[in-house]
Structure formats: structure tokens, C-alpha cells
Amino acid sequence: MDDSSPTSAVARLTPRGAKTRSRIVETAAELIRVRGVGGTTLDDVVSASKVSKSQLYRHFEDKPSLVRAVIEHVGDRKISGERERLENVRTFAGLRRWRDAIVETNALQDGRYGCSLGSLANEVADHDWIARLKLQELFTAWEQLFMDLIERFQQDGLVPASADVRQLATGFVAAVQGGYVLAQTSRDVAPMESAIDMAIAHLQLLAMADERALEGLKA
């Protein structure tokens, strides 16, 4: 691994330094969640995290480097949470329970802040290519979770073996992201429910079409 990489730099920190860096990133992530990247300054982060400017600059040379660390922090937490929710889903009933869980969580603040990853992508993808590549990596990891789920459905005979797994997984990520945006703008999670329901219904229709095709072959 390149010793100049952020991961290597973090690994070289003392326990105290690592704790300070973590506090800065977590504070910045919360400020950015509420105010956005453009509405959050380094002075805001210094004040809210109760560190000095010299401490902040010891860990981050500028705002883009801090934002990249926030993306990694938020993204890893998001993917970890989605993995935990999705990894044991093997039925359509389980898939609907997953849908209920993320909608209910988003409803706690009336969809106010949208998806943490989607919001970051909207703000930085066109201005920071390093951040964009990290976001692409995270969305690919999220898509992979849906690919794994759909492959399990195929193994259990719930989805036709001929189904395009990657296309379906991309559709699920798009439905979730679109749902977050619609809920955020309307302050109502009903559009999010509808968007995800459409993705689930499509999977069920594929299963039904496959069953009809098999019945036709037997007739």
C-alpha cells in the first residue's frame, strides 16, 4: 500500500491523534448532513468539534481532503448498515420488511435530509474527481449488495435464472435514491414507498412471467 495514502496516514496516528481525527470527521459529517458541503466551513467544524485550527490542519490540509474523509466515513457506515439489512433477505416478505425499515427511518425527519451518499454526490461529484471516484466505489458496493440479494432469489427459484442481475440491482439503487430525493423535496416518504414498491413489483412480475412460461411449456 502507498505510504502516502489516507489509510496509511491514519494507521500511523497515535491513539490520541486517531481519536481527534475521528471526532473531526464525525462532527463534519453531521454538519454536512444538515447544512450541506457548501454550507459548512472549516471554522464551523473547528467550533463544533472543539479542536483548534492547528489540530484540524494537522489531519486535513484543506476542506476537500476533509470532505473526502467524510465521504469515506459516511459511505462505510451506509454500506455496512445496508449489508446488515439485506444480507439475510431471502423472500419477498423479507424484502418488503427491508423496504419498511428504510422508509420508516427516513420518515423520522419527514425525509428532510435525503440519502447521505446521494447528497454528497450532488454537491461534490462535479468538482472533485477524487471524491467522485470514492462515491462511485461506494455506489458500486451498494449495487453489489442488491446483486447478491437477487442472486439468492435466483438460487431459491424466486427470480428467473435468465434475469439480468446487474440491471435489476442498478434499478433498485436508482429506486432508493430517487425515493430519497422525492421524499426530501415533498417532506413525505410516500413517494419513496412507491418508488421502492415498483422495483419489488418488477421482480415479482418477472417471477410470475417465468411461472406462466413454464406452465405453457407443460401444456
CATH of the domain at 205: 1.10.357.10
Closest CA to 141 of 80, 193, 182: 80
Domain identity same for 47 and 121: no
Residue 68, in any domain of the structure: no
**CA 71 to each of CA 7, 93, 96, 191, 211: distance values in angstroms, whole numbers, following the listed order:** 13, 32, 29, 26, 43
pLDDT tens, residue by residue, 15-41: 888 899 999 999 999 999 999 999 999
Rounded CA separation 211/219 (Å): 12
Q: Which residues contact 87 (CB under 8 A, 6 or more apart)?
A: 145, 148
Q: What is the overall mean pLDDT for the chain? A: 90
Q: Are 208 and 183 in contact (CB under 8 A)?
A: no
How many angstroms separate the most distant Cα atoms in the chain? 77
Residue 12, in any domain of the structure: yes
Burial of 29 by CB count in 10 Å (0-12 exposed, 13-18 middle, 19+ buried)? buried
Domain identity same for 209 and 142: yes
pLDDT tens, residue by residue, 145-200: 999 999 999 999 999 999 999 999 999 999 999 999 999 999 999 999 999 999 99
Structural domain including 138 reads 75-218
If one counts the domains in the chain, the total is 2
Rounded CA separation 192/181 (Å): 8
Q: What is the pTM of this model?
A: 0.85
One-letter-per-residue 3-state SS of 58-70: HHCCCHHHHHHHH
Domain identity same for 52 and 81: no
**CA 97 to each of CA 78, 100, 190, 197: distance values in angstroms, whole numbers, following the listed order:** 18, 5, 16, 11
Rounded CA separation 193/64 (Å): 34
